[in-house]
Amino acid sequence: MKWGKVEFDDWERLERNLSKIAAIDFDKFCRDVAKELAARLIRNLIKTTPVDTGTLRRGWTGGVDANAAAYANGLKVHRLGDTYQILIMNPEKYGAYVNYGHRTRDHKGFVEGYHFLEVSVDAVQRGADKVIEKKLRKLLEDAFR
């Protein structure tokens, strides 16, 4: 009986590639993805936050005009079980009133909110899968080189 020819080079290459995958720091990968999504959210928040004096917009990056990616890269990522979280805050106290709406000073009317926070979060959530897939594909391509 003839079994055919076996190329052990292919098996050895597969073993090397699987070893590279096993050595990948997935915690770092998840933290990097979290920071990328946070940067996208901050960029979107800056765009959708209404402008009066610009103070509320600048609040998303710590009160200064800063690059969203650079600012997000400096944020701390918290791991809770299998969830990675980044706290993004705006220190301007009136931001909630602009976002959700508020009564007028004479309490006889209501100013509608802009809902920029919800709009921004929804936009980032819609694109999150593509961002994660792209980063994961690159990570695996690098491992299989």
Q: pTM for this structure?
A: 0.84
**Cβ atoms 50, 98 nearer than 8 A:** yes
Dihedral sign computed on CA atoms, order 85, 91, 92, 97: positive
The packing angle between helices 26-48 and 116-143, to 10°, is: 150
Return the domain boundaries, the chain. 26-140
pLDDT tens track of the chain, all 145 residues? 666 666 778 778 778 878 888 888 899 999 999 999 999 999 999 999 999 888 999 999 987 767 899 999 999 999 999 999 999 999 999 999 999 999 999 999 999 999 999 999 999 999 999 999 999 999 888 877 7
